[in-house]
Structure 1
Amino acid sequence: MIKHHPTATVLQQFVDGNLPASISLIVASHVEICPHCQQHTMQLTEQAAQSLFEPETLNQVLDLNPSHADLTLDEFDMMQSITDIEIEETPVAIPLPKTVTEIDINGTRIALPHSMKSIALKEWQGIGKLSRARAALEDNKLKMSLLHIAKGGSIPTHTHHGFEITLLLEGSFHDDMGEYKTGDFMWLDGKHTHSPITDEGCVCLTVSSDAIHFTQGMSQLLNPIGKFIY
Protein backbone atom coordinates (compact mmCIF):
# COMPACT_ATOMS: atom_id res chain seq x y z
CA MET A 1 0.00 0.00 0.00
CA ILE A 2 1.34 3.42 -0.99
CA LYS A 3 1.60 5.64 2.10
CA HIS A 4 3.63 8.64 0.91
CA HIS A 5 2.24 11.03 -1.71
CA PRO A 6 2.83 14.49 -3.22
CA THR A 7 1.17 17.27 -1.22
CA ALA A 8 -2.13 18.74 -2.37
CA THR A 9 -0.24 21.88 -3.39
CA VAL A 10 2.17 19.91 -5.60
CA LEU A 11 -0.71 18.04 -7.26
CA GLN A 12 -2.48 21.35 -7.93
CA GLN A 13 0.68 22.78 -9.50
CA PHE A 14 1.00 19.59 -11.57
CA VAL A 15 -2.56 19.93 -12.91
CA ASP A 16 -2.03 23.64 -13.59
CA GLY A 17 1.18 22.90 -15.52
CA ASN A 18 3.31 25.05 -13.22
CA LEU A 19 6.02 22.53 -12.30
CA PRO A 20 9.48 22.23 -13.91
CA ALA A 21 9.67 19.42 -16.47
CA SER A 22 11.57 16.91 -14.32
CA ILE A 23 9.32 17.43 -11.28
CA SER A 24 6.23 17.15 -13.48
CA LEU A 25 7.57 13.84 -14.84
CA ILE A 26 8.21 12.33 -11.41
CA VAL A 27 4.79 13.45 -10.16
CA ALA A 28 3.17 11.97 -13.30
CA SER A 29 5.04 8.72 -12.66
CA HIS A 30 3.65 8.54 -9.13
CA VAL A 31 0.12 9.38 -10.26
CA GLU A 32 0.35 6.57 -12.82
CA ILE A 33 0.81 3.92 -10.11
CA CYS A 34 -1.15 5.50 -7.23
CA PRO A 35 -4.96 5.13 -7.31
CA HIS A 36 -5.37 7.71 -4.53
CA CYS A 37 -3.48 10.42 -6.44
CA GLN A 38 -5.13 9.42 -9.73
CA GLN A 39 -8.52 10.20 -8.20
CA HIS A 40 -7.29 13.43 -6.62
CA THR A 41 -5.73 14.56 -9.92
CA MET A 42 -8.93 13.78 -11.85
CA GLN A 43 -10.93 15.89 -9.40
CA LEU A 44 -8.51 18.80 -9.72
CA THR A 45 -8.59 18.50 -13.53
CA GLU A 46 -12.41 18.52 -13.57
CA GLN A 47 -12.47 21.57 -11.30
CA ALA A 48 -10.02 23.36 -13.59
CA ALA A 49 -12.12 22.50 -16.66
CA GLN A 50 -15.34 23.70 -15.02
CA SER A 51 -13.80 26.98 -13.91
CA LEU A 52 -12.52 27.59 -17.44
CA PHE A 53 -16.04 27.53 -18.86
CA GLU A 54 -17.65 29.70 -16.20
CA PRO A 55 -19.09 32.93 -17.73
CA GLU A 56 -16.79 35.16 -15.72
CA THR A 57 -13.73 33.26 -16.94
CA LEU A 58 -14.85 33.42 -20.57
CA ASN A 59 -15.45 37.14 -20.23
CA GLN A 60 -11.94 37.56 -18.83
CA VAL A 61 -10.54 35.71 -21.84
CA LEU A 62 -12.47 37.97 -24.20
CA ASP A 63 -11.33 41.03 -22.27
CA LEU A 64 -7.71 39.92 -22.70
CA ASN A 65 -8.34 39.25 -26.40
CA PRO A 66 -10.99 41.77 -27.46
CA SER A 67 -10.34 41.07 -31.15
CA HIS A 68 -11.89 37.61 -30.66
CA ALA A 69 -15.21 39.16 -29.67
CA ASP A 70 -15.21 41.47 -32.72
CA LEU A 71 -14.79 38.75 -35.34
CA THR A 72 -17.68 38.55 -37.80
CA LEU A 73 -19.18 35.29 -39.01
CA ASP A 74 -17.41 35.72 -42.37
CA GLU A 75 -14.08 36.16 -40.59
CA PHE A 76 -14.69 33.01 -38.56
CA ASP A 77 -15.45 31.15 -41.81
CA MET A 78 -12.21 32.47 -43.31
CA MET A 79 -10.22 31.27 -40.29
CA GLN A 80 -11.91 27.87 -40.51
CA SER A 81 -11.05 27.53 -44.21
CA ILE A 82 -7.40 28.29 -43.45
CA THR A 83 -7.16 25.74 -40.65
CA ASP A 84 -8.83 23.11 -42.85
CA ILE A 85 -6.13 23.32 -45.56
CA GLU A 86 -4.09 20.12 -45.73
CA ILE A 87 -0.39 20.85 -45.91
CA GLU A 88 1.77 18.34 -47.70
CA GLU A 89 5.14 17.98 -46.03
CA THR A 90 8.15 16.03 -47.14
CA PRO A 91 9.12 13.59 -44.37
CA VAL A 92 12.53 14.33 -42.89
CA ALA A 93 14.43 11.55 -41.15
CA ILE A 94 15.50 12.89 -37.76
CA PRO A 95 17.49 10.57 -35.50
CA LEU A 96 15.68 10.04 -32.20
CA PRO A 97 17.40 9.61 -28.83
CA LYS A 98 17.73 6.09 -27.51
CA THR A 99 14.84 5.73 -25.12
CA VAL A 100 14.32 2.94 -22.60
CA THR A 101 10.99 1.32 -21.71
CA GLU A 102 12.37 -1.08 -19.12
CA ILE A 103 15.62 -1.85 -17.34
CA ASP A 104 17.23 -5.12 -16.27
CA ILE A 105 18.55 -5.27 -12.71
CA ASN A 106 20.33 -8.54 -11.96
CA GLY A 107 17.98 -10.47 -14.23
CA THR A 108 14.82 -8.69 -13.05
CA ARG A 109 13.13 -6.61 -15.72
CA ILE A 110 11.53 -3.44 -14.39
CA ALA A 111 9.10 -1.47 -16.55
CA LEU A 112 9.51 2.29 -16.42
CA PRO A 113 6.53 4.63 -16.01
CA HIS A 114 4.88 5.77 -19.24
CA SER A 115 5.96 9.34 -18.55
CA MET A 116 9.60 8.19 -18.77
CA LYS A 117 9.31 6.33 -22.05
CA SER A 118 10.16 9.37 -24.19
CA ILE A 119 13.23 10.19 -22.08
CA ALA A 120 16.62 8.78 -23.01
CA LEU A 121 18.95 7.42 -20.32
CA LYS A 122 22.68 7.96 -20.21
CA GLU A 123 25.18 5.23 -19.32
CA TRP A 124 25.00 3.62 -15.88
CA GLN A 125 27.77 4.53 -13.43
CA GLY A 126 28.45 2.84 -10.12
CA ILE A 127 30.20 3.13 -6.77
CA GLY A 128 30.00 0.05 -4.54
CA LYS A 129 26.36 -1.05 -4.25
CA LEU A 130 25.10 2.21 -5.67
CA SER A 131 24.56 2.79 -9.40
CA ARG A 132 22.96 5.65 -11.27
CA ALA A 133 21.80 6.50 -14.80
CA ARG A 134 21.10 10.13 -15.63
CA ALA A 135 17.99 11.02 -17.63
CA ALA A 136 18.86 12.97 -20.78
CA LEU A 137 16.65 15.89 -19.77
CA GLU A 138 17.74 19.52 -19.69
CA ASP A 139 15.91 21.21 -16.83
CA ASN A 140 18.15 24.03 -15.59
CA LYS A 141 19.95 22.85 -12.43
CA LEU A 142 17.56 19.98 -11.74
CA LYS A 143 18.91 16.48 -12.32
CA MET A 144 16.72 13.43 -12.91
CA SER A 145 18.19 9.96 -12.46
CA LEU A 146 17.39 6.30 -12.02
CA LEU A 147 19.10 5.12 -8.85
CA HIS A 148 19.72 1.47 -7.96
CA ILE A 149 20.88 0.35 -4.53
CA ALA A 150 21.83 -3.34 -4.45
CA LYS A 151 20.63 -5.79 -1.80
CA GLY A 152 22.04 -4.87 1.60
CA GLY A 153 23.22 -1.48 0.36
CA SER A 154 22.94 1.86 2.09
CA ILE A 155 23.79 5.54 1.76
CA PRO A 156 25.59 7.10 4.77
CA THR A 157 23.79 9.68 6.89
CA HIS A 158 23.33 12.86 4.89
CA THR A 159 21.24 15.95 4.35
CA HIS A 160 20.64 18.02 1.21
CA HIS A 161 21.98 21.37 0.01
CA GLY A 162 18.83 21.73 -2.08
CA PHE A 163 15.93 19.29 -2.32
CA GLU A 164 15.61 15.67 -3.37
CA ILE A 165 12.45 13.99 -4.66
CA THR A 166 12.39 10.19 -4.66
CA LEU A 167 9.82 7.84 -6.21
CA LEU A 168 10.35 4.20 -5.29
CA LEU A 169 9.81 2.11 -8.44
CA GLU A 170 10.86 -1.31 -7.16
CA GLY A 171 11.80 -2.88 -3.84
CA SER A 172 11.90 -1.11 -0.51
CA PHE A 173 14.17 0.80 1.86
CA HIS A 174 14.00 2.30 5.32
CA ASP A 175 15.63 5.25 7.04
CA ASP A 176 15.40 7.29 10.23
CA MET A 177 11.90 8.46 9.30
CA GLY A 178 10.22 5.20 8.30
CA GLU A 179 9.86 2.44 5.71
CA TYR A 180 9.13 3.01 2.03
CA LYS A 181 7.77 0.63 -0.58
CA THR A 182 7.00 0.65 -4.29
CA GLY A 183 5.06 3.77 -5.28
CA ASP A 184 6.01 5.89 -2.28
CA PHE A 185 6.88 9.52 -3.05
CA MET A 186 9.24 11.51 -0.80
CA TRP A 187 10.31 15.17 -0.98
CA LEU A 188 13.24 15.99 1.32
CA ASP A 189 15.38 19.08 1.80
CA GLY A 190 17.91 20.57 4.20
CA LYS A 191 15.52 20.12 7.14
CA HIS A 192 15.85 16.34 6.82
CA THR A 193 18.77 14.07 7.73
CA HIS A 194 18.57 10.34 6.95
CA SER A 195 20.52 7.20 6.08
CA PRO A 196 18.60 4.98 3.62
CA ILE A 197 19.17 1.21 3.93
CA THR A 198 17.70 -1.49 1.69
CA ASP A 199 17.55 -5.16 2.65
CA GLU A 200 16.16 -6.45 -0.66
CA GLY A 201 17.52 -3.79 -3.02
CA CYS A 202 15.57 -0.99 -4.65
CA VAL A 203 15.24 1.13 -7.78
CA CYS A 204 14.25 4.79 -7.45
CA LEU A 205 13.48 7.66 -9.78
CA THR A 206 14.98 10.83 -8.32
CA VAL A 207 15.02 14.56 -8.98
CA SER A 208 17.61 16.67 -7.14
CA SER A 209 18.44 20.36 -7.15
CA ASP A 210 21.90 20.07 -5.55
CA ALA A 211 24.41 17.62 -4.09
CA ILE A 212 23.82 15.64 -0.92
CA HIS A 213 25.97 16.42 2.13
CA PHE A 214 27.28 13.63 4.40
CA THR A 215 27.12 14.60 8.06
CA GLN A 216 28.65 11.87 10.24
CA GLY A 217 32.00 10.21 10.83
CA MET A 218 34.33 9.13 8.06
CA SER A 219 31.55 9.43 5.49
CA GLN A 220 32.11 13.20 5.53
CA LEU A 221 35.26 12.50 3.51
CA LEU A 222 32.91 11.49 0.68
CA ASN A 223 31.41 14.99 0.32
CA PRO A 224 33.59 15.81 -2.70
CA ILE A 225 31.77 13.04 -4.61
CA GLY A 226 28.33 13.99 -3.29
CA LYS A 227 27.41 15.24 -6.74
CA PHE A 228 27.60 11.67 -8.03
CA ILE A 229 24.32 10.94 -6.28
CA TYR A 230 22.91 14.38 -7.14
Structure 2
Amino acid sequence: MTNAAAHDVTHHVPEPMLADYAAGRLGYSFSVAVAAHVSLCDECRARLAAHEAAGGAVLETLPPAPVSGDLMARVMARLDDPAAAPPAPPAPSGIFPGAVMAALKGQPPRWRKLGMGIRQSILHAGGDGSLRLLYIPPGRAVPDHGHGGQELTLVLQGAFHDETGRFGVGDIEVADESLEHTPIAEEGEPCICLAATDAPLRFSSLIPRVLQPIFRI
Protein backbone atom coordinates (compact mmCIF):
# COMPACT_ATOMS: atom_id res chain seq x y z
CA MET A 1 0.00 0.00 0.00
CA THR A 2 1.16 3.56 -0.62
CA ASN A 3 3.03 4.77 2.45
CA ALA A 4 1.55 8.18 3.29
CA ALA A 5 4.18 8.60 6.00
CA ALA A 6 6.67 9.14 3.18
CA HIS A 7 4.59 12.17 2.14
CA ASP A 8 3.74 15.33 4.05
CA VAL A 9 0.16 14.89 5.23
CA THR A 10 -0.85 18.49 5.85
CA HIS A 11 -4.65 18.38 5.61
CA HIS A 12 -6.32 16.62 8.53
CA VAL A 13 -9.73 15.71 9.94
CA PRO A 14 -11.18 18.60 11.99
CA GLU A 15 -11.20 18.02 15.75
CA PRO A 16 -15.03 18.00 16.17
CA MET A 17 -15.40 15.43 13.39
CA LEU A 18 -12.67 13.24 14.89
CA ALA A 19 -14.46 13.41 18.26
CA ASP A 20 -17.74 12.40 16.58
CA TYR A 21 -15.97 9.48 14.89
CA ALA A 22 -14.52 8.30 18.22
CA ALA A 23 -17.99 8.49 19.78
CA GLY A 24 -19.65 6.63 16.88
CA ARG A 25 -21.74 9.63 15.83
CA LEU A 26 -20.65 9.83 12.17
CA GLY A 27 -22.65 8.27 9.35
CA TYR A 28 -21.28 5.35 7.37
CA SER A 29 -19.74 7.28 4.46
CA PHE A 30 -17.93 9.82 6.62
CA SER A 31 -16.81 7.08 9.02
CA VAL A 32 -15.11 5.16 6.19
CA ALA A 33 -13.36 8.31 4.94
CA VAL A 34 -12.14 9.23 8.44
CA ALA A 35 -11.00 5.65 9.17
CA ALA A 36 -9.07 5.53 5.90
CA HIS A 37 -7.40 8.88 6.59
CA VAL A 38 -6.50 7.89 10.15
CA SER A 39 -4.80 4.75 8.83
CA LEU A 40 -2.58 6.97 6.66
CA CYS A 41 -1.94 9.83 9.10
CA ASP A 42 0.18 9.49 12.24
CA GLU A 43 -1.06 12.81 13.66
CA CYS A 44 -4.77 12.02 13.37
CA ARG A 45 -4.18 8.49 14.65
CA ALA A 46 -2.63 9.94 17.83
CA ARG A 47 -5.44 12.50 18.19
CA LEU A 48 -8.03 9.74 17.78
CA ALA A 49 -6.35 7.67 20.48
CA ALA A 50 -6.59 10.67 22.82
CA HIS A 51 -10.32 11.02 22.12
CA GLU A 52 -10.86 7.30 22.73
CA ALA A 53 -8.89 7.45 25.99
CA ALA A 54 -10.96 10.43 27.14
CA GLY A 55 -14.16 8.56 26.30
CA GLY A 56 -12.97 5.55 28.29
CA ALA A 57 -12.20 7.79 31.27
CA VAL A 58 -15.72 9.21 31.16
CA LEU A 59 -17.23 5.72 31.10
CA GLU A 60 -15.26 4.80 34.23
CA THR A 61 -16.95 7.65 36.12
CA LEU A 62 -20.48 6.43 35.36
CA PRO A 63 -22.35 4.47 38.03
CA PRO A 64 -22.70 0.73 37.38
CA ALA A 65 -25.87 -0.35 35.62
CA PRO A 66 -27.95 -3.28 36.90
CA VAL A 67 -27.61 -6.50 34.86
CA SER A 68 -29.48 -9.77 34.81
CA GLY A 69 -28.28 -12.63 37.00
CA ASP A 70 -27.43 -14.87 34.04
CA LEU A 71 -25.35 -12.27 32.17
CA MET A 72 -22.01 -13.88 33.01
CA ALA A 73 -23.16 -17.31 31.87
CA ARG A 74 -24.47 -15.93 28.58
CA VAL A 75 -21.27 -14.00 27.92
CA MET A 76 -19.12 -17.07 28.60
CA ALA A 77 -21.32 -19.16 26.30
CA ARG A 78 -20.85 -16.64 23.49
CA LEU A 79 -17.08 -16.74 23.93
CA ASP A 80 -17.15 -20.47 23.27
CA ASP A 81 -19.18 -19.97 20.08
CA PRO A 82 -16.85 -19.67 17.02
CA ALA A 83 -19.60 -17.87 15.09
CA ALA A 84 -19.54 -15.09 17.67
CA ALA A 85 -15.98 -14.11 16.82
CA PRO A 86 -15.99 -10.97 14.62
CA PRO A 87 -14.38 -11.34 11.21
CA ALA A 88 -10.92 -9.93 10.83
CA PRO A 89 -10.92 -6.51 9.13
CA PRO A 90 -9.81 -6.61 5.48
CA ALA A 91 -6.12 -6.01 4.96
CA PRO A 92 -4.98 -3.01 2.91
CA SER A 93 -4.54 -3.74 -0.78
CA GLY A 94 -2.53 -1.64 -3.20
CA ILE A 95 -3.48 1.99 -2.62
CA PHE A 96 -6.65 1.09 -0.71
CA PRO A 97 -6.61 1.17 3.12
CA GLY A 98 -8.42 -1.54 5.07
CA ALA A 99 -11.51 0.65 5.60
CA VAL A 100 -11.86 1.11 1.84
CA MET A 101 -11.33 -2.60 1.18
CA ALA A 102 -14.15 -3.30 3.66
CA ALA A 103 -16.44 -0.92 1.74
CA LEU A 104 -15.38 -2.68 -1.48
CA LYS A 105 -16.15 -6.03 0.19
CA GLY A 106 -12.67 -7.17 -0.78
CA GLN A 107 -13.33 -6.77 -4.51
CA PRO A 108 -11.69 -4.43 -7.06
CA PRO A 109 -13.56 -1.19 -7.83
CA ARG A 110 -16.23 -1.37 -10.53
CA TRP A 111 -15.42 1.76 -12.50
CA ARG A 112 -18.06 3.64 -14.49
CA LYS A 113 -17.13 6.32 -17.02
CA LEU A 114 -18.27 9.87 -16.30
CA GLY A 115 -16.64 11.53 -19.34
CA MET A 116 -13.31 13.26 -20.05
CA GLY A 117 -11.55 10.11 -18.81
CA ILE A 118 -12.97 10.54 -15.29
CA ARG A 119 -14.44 7.41 -13.70
CA GLN A 120 -16.23 6.59 -10.47
CA SER A 121 -17.06 3.53 -8.42
CA ILE A 122 -19.99 3.95 -6.03
CA LEU A 123 -19.40 2.10 -2.75
CA HIS A 124 -22.50 3.32 -0.93
CA ALA A 125 -25.53 5.47 -1.71
CA GLY A 126 -28.44 6.06 0.62
CA GLY A 127 -30.39 8.58 2.61
CA ASP A 128 -27.37 9.25 4.81
CA GLY A 129 -25.16 10.21 1.86
CA SER A 130 -22.82 8.56 -0.58
CA LEU A 131 -19.33 7.10 -0.76
CA ARG A 132 -17.42 6.72 -4.02
CA LEU A 133 -13.99 6.30 -5.53
CA LEU A 134 -13.00 8.81 -8.20
CA TYR A 135 -10.37 8.25 -10.89
CA ILE A 136 -9.15 11.49 -12.48
CA PRO A 137 -6.56 11.36 -15.30
CA PRO A 138 -3.51 13.64 -15.01
CA GLY A 139 -4.32 17.24 -15.86
CA ARG A 140 -8.08 16.67 -15.92
CA ALA A 141 -10.48 18.80 -13.87
CA VAL A 142 -13.66 17.83 -12.08
CA PRO A 143 -16.37 20.27 -13.26
CA ASP A 144 -16.73 23.39 -11.13
CA HIS A 145 -19.17 22.72 -8.30
CA GLY A 146 -20.43 23.73 -4.89
CA HIS A 147 -21.89 21.59 -2.12
CA GLY A 148 -25.34 21.06 -0.66
CA GLY A 149 -23.74 19.79 2.55
CA GLN A 150 -20.34 18.45 3.54
CA GLU A 151 -17.89 16.52 1.39
CA LEU A 152 -14.75 14.69 2.51
CA THR A 153 -12.19 13.89 -0.20
CA LEU A 154 -9.24 11.67 0.69
CA VAL A 155 -6.36 11.27 -1.79
CA LEU A 156 -5.22 7.66 -2.20
CA GLN A 157 -2.98 8.09 -5.26
CA GLY A 158 -1.53 11.08 -7.09
CA ALA A 159 -2.58 14.59 -6.12
CA PHE A 160 -4.98 17.40 -7.00
CA HIS A 161 -5.18 21.11 -6.38
CA ASP A 162 -8.03 23.58 -6.22
CA GLU A 163 -8.77 27.07 -4.94
CA THR A 164 -7.87 26.05 -1.37
CA GLY A 165 -4.49 24.39 -1.97
CA ARG A 166 -2.77 21.13 -2.89
CA PHE A 167 -3.79 17.69 -1.68
CA GLY A 168 -1.49 14.67 -1.92
CA VAL A 169 -1.65 11.09 -0.69
CA GLY A 170 -3.18 10.93 2.79
CA ASP A 171 -4.54 14.49 2.69
CA ILE A 172 -8.26 14.97 3.26
CA GLU A 173 -10.20 18.00 2.05
CA VAL A 174 -13.28 19.04 4.02
CA ALA A 175 -15.70 21.09 1.92
CA ASP A 176 -19.04 22.63 2.87
CA GLU A 177 -21.71 24.93 1.45
CA SER A 178 -19.31 27.88 1.45
CA LEU A 179 -16.83 26.31 -1.01
CA GLU A 180 -17.15 26.31 -4.80
CA HIS A 181 -14.11 24.79 -6.46
CA THR A 182 -12.63 23.07 -9.50
CA PRO A 183 -10.33 20.19 -8.43
CA ILE A 184 -7.60 19.50 -11.02
CA ALA A 185 -5.48 16.34 -11.00
CA GLU A 186 -1.76 17.03 -11.14
CA GLU A 187 0.48 15.70 -13.88
CA GLY A 188 2.03 12.28 -13.36
CA GLU A 189 -0.02 9.33 -12.21
CA PRO A 190 -3.83 9.45 -12.16
CA CYS A 191 -5.41 10.90 -9.04
CA ILE A 192 -7.61 8.40 -7.17
CA CYS A 193 -9.71 9.78 -4.34
CA LEU A 194 -12.28 8.54 -1.86
CA ALA A 195 -15.18 11.01 -1.66
CA ALA A 196 -17.93 10.99 0.99
CA THR A 197 -20.90 13.37 0.82
CA ASP A 198 -24.06 13.90 2.84
CA ALA A 199 -25.88 15.89 0.14
CA PRO A 200 -25.77 16.24 -3.67
CA LEU A 201 -23.19 18.50 -5.30
CA ARG A 202 -24.19 21.76 -7.00
CA PHE A 203 -22.71 21.98 -10.49
CA SER A 204 -22.29 25.31 -12.28
CA SER A 205 -22.51 24.01 -15.87
CA LEU A 206 -25.63 22.70 -17.55
CA ILE A 207 -24.34 19.32 -18.78
CA PRO A 208 -23.14 18.09 -15.35
CA ARG A 209 -26.48 19.18 -13.87
CA VAL A 210 -28.39 17.21 -16.52
CA LEU A 211 -26.27 14.08 -15.98
CA GLN A 212 -26.23 14.37 -12.19
CA PRO A 213 -29.27 12.11 -11.55
CA ILE A 214 -27.83 9.43 -13.85
CA PHE A 215 -24.42 9.39 -12.19
CA ARG A 216 -25.84 9.92 -8.67
CA ILE A 217 -23.39 12.67 -7.71
1:229: how far off?
6.5
In the other structure, the counterpart of 2:102 is 118
The change in CA–CA distance for 1:167 and 1:82 in structure 2 (over 3 A counts) is closer
| Deviation, structure 1 residue 203 | 0.4
- Structure 2 distance, partners of 1:139, 1:25, is 14
Q: How many residues align?
A: 197
Give the structure 2 partner of residue 202 of structure 1.
191
Q: Which runs of 4+ in 1 moved over 6 A?
A: 86-91
SS of equivalent residue, structure 1 residue 191: coil
Match of 1:44 in 2: 51
1:148–1:84 CA distance, 2 compared to 1 (3 A): same
1:3-22 CA distance string (max 9 Å, x none): 11111100000000111111
Residue of 123, 126, 129 corresponding to 2:117: 129
**1:36, CA displacement in angstroms?**
0.5
Task: Provide the identity percentage.
Answer: 23
Bigger RCO (CA 8 Å, 6+ sep): 2
In structure 2, the CA distance between the partners of 1:176 and 1:229, relative to structure 1 (3 Å rule), is farther
CA RMSD of aligned residues (A): 2.7
Q: Which residue of 2 aligns with 1:107?
A: none
Structure 1: gaps (5+ residues): 92-98, 103-109
Cα deviation digits, residues 169-202 of structure 1 (max 9, x gap): 1111111111111111112122111111112330
Say whether 1:180 aligns with 2:187: no
Q: TM-score, normalised by structure 1?
A: 0.75
Alpha-carbon distance in structure 2 between the residues aligned to 1:4 and 1:88: 44
How high is the TM-score relative to the length of structure 2?
0.79
The answer to whether the aligner puts 1:29 opposite 2:36 as a matched pair is yes
Paired with 1:36 and 1:23, the residues of 2 have a C-alpha distance of 19
Structure 2 distance, partners of 1:83, 1:229, is 44
Residues in 2 aligned to 1:41 and 1:13: alpha-carbon distance in whole angstroms? 10
- Which amino acid counterpart does residue 194 of structure 2 have in structure 1? L
